[in-house]
Amino acid sequence: MRALDPLFDWKHLPKLKRPEDKLGKENPLPPFAGNNPVEASGAKDDLFIDEAIVSRSLRLLTYKKNVILQGPPGSGKTYFASFLARNIVSGNYDERIVKVQFHQAYSYDDFIRGYRPSHSGWIINDGVFLTLCQKAKANPSNNYVLIIDEINRGDLNQIFGEALTLLESSKRGSKVSLVYGRDESDRIFSIPPNVYVIGTMNTADRGLTHIDYATRRRFAFIDVPSAIGSEVFERYVNSKNSKVLEAAVGLVNDFNESIRNTLGEGYFIGHSYFCGLDGDDPDWRVREVVLSEILPLIEEYLMDDREQYQYWKDQFAVI
């Protein structure tokens, strides 16, 4: 979100103060809360993401506690989210990193708390986020991360409920009363400061569910661009010694440039389509990715311009 970039430029973050963390001139904001800072230096060759974006993302996650990675399809948002999470927690990834995917049927009962049927009747069941927060409260010296894939596919206000207000870093530790509880004390809920939330959002699907301004204010938005056409991805392609891969990537880059001033960068085709294609007959794999994944996506983009779609279909047919 370019409009917010000046507000969250990592160079200025140490000047900001968080009263709850007692940060000031003597305690400047650290680069990030992880235990493996060396990972960031080589990240761009693994993630195909510029080091500046990686460094800024880690610092933002530490400062804001809630971020949304937004980018076009295939730009590696989920993989990047996992990378950030691993840098925030210190081992025991399976216990301290929880992944969910929002969808239109995902509800408050799944996320916070609700009633579930059992052999003895209806019982209160704690949702994934409340359970994670309880673990974090019991282990304040360890960080915990919730990764929400496709965060814009769910109704955030309905899913988070009372917890939405508590997401703010300045509200961590504040208490609200939940709708359901086993007793009065069980209804008290808070989000501890060692809980971090990372969402991913496909910019080509941003119209699925509108994220209102009040919700946006609780997250920092980070652009994760397609690496097609970048130097680091070009090195990756060259290392594969495949003319078919080079041709396919070149055509995708041409297509991306052709829609820059129409659909926009949010609809660029990402580099992840061409990752992990090693093995037997990699050229066949590249061709199948083009035929079964990339061309159907282009057809969806150009559904109102069949002539333009046919042009690109013919271009890809030669590889």
Predicted TM-score of the model (pTM): 0.84
Q: At what angle do helices 243-258 and 231-239 cross, to 10 degrees?
A: 150
**pLDDT at residue 1, rounded to an integer:** 38
H helices of the chain, where?
Answer: 38-41, 43-47, 51-64, 77-88, 93-96, 108-111, 128-138, 156-160, 163-166, 213-216, 231-239, 243-258, 282-289, 295-301, 306-316
Answer for the pair 33, 47: CB distance below 8 angstroms, yes or no.
Answer: no
Cβ-based neighbours of 44, under 8 Å, separated by 6 or more: 50, 51, 54, 232
Residue 66 pairs with which residues in a beta bridge? 197
**pLDDT at residue 206, rounded to an integer:** 54
Residue matched to tokens 């939330």:
197
**pLDDT at residue 13, rounded to an integer:** 41
**pLDDT at residue 45, rounded to an integer:** 62
Cα dihedral 91→92→96→102 (10° resolution): 100
Q: How many CA atoms lie within 13 A of 178 on its CB side?
A: 27
Q: Where are the domains of the chain?
A: 2-223, 231-316
Cα dist from 21 to 17, 29, 70, 218, 246, whole Å: 8, 10, 28, 17, 50
97 vs 7: CA distance, rounded Å: 28
**pLDDT at residue 25, rounded to an integer:** 37
pLDDT, tens digit, 9 for 90 and up, residues 154-199: 999 999 999 999 999 999 999 999 988 898 889 999 999 999 999 9
Q: What is the CA radius of gyration of the chain?
A: 22
Answer for the pair 56, 222: CB distance below 8 angstroms, yes or no.
Answer: yes
**pLDDT at residue 267, rounded to an integer:** 97
Cβ-based neighbours of 156, under 8 Å, separated by 6 or more: 164, 209, 211, 215
Residue matched to tokens 């001033």:
261
Domain 2-223 has CATH 3.40.50.1110: no
Q: How do the pLDDT tens digits run along the chain, 319 residues long?
A: 344 343 334 344 443 333 333 333 333 434 444 444 435 444 556 789 888 889 999 999 999 999 999 999 999 999 999 999 999 998 889 999 999 999 999 999 999 999 988 888 888 999 999 999 999 999 999 999 999 999 999 999 999 999 999 999 999 999 999 988 898 889 999 999 999 999 999 999 855 557 888 889 999 999 999 999 999 999 999 999 999 999 999 999 999 999 999 999 999 999 999 998 888 899 999 999 999 999 999 999 999 999 999 999 999 999 9
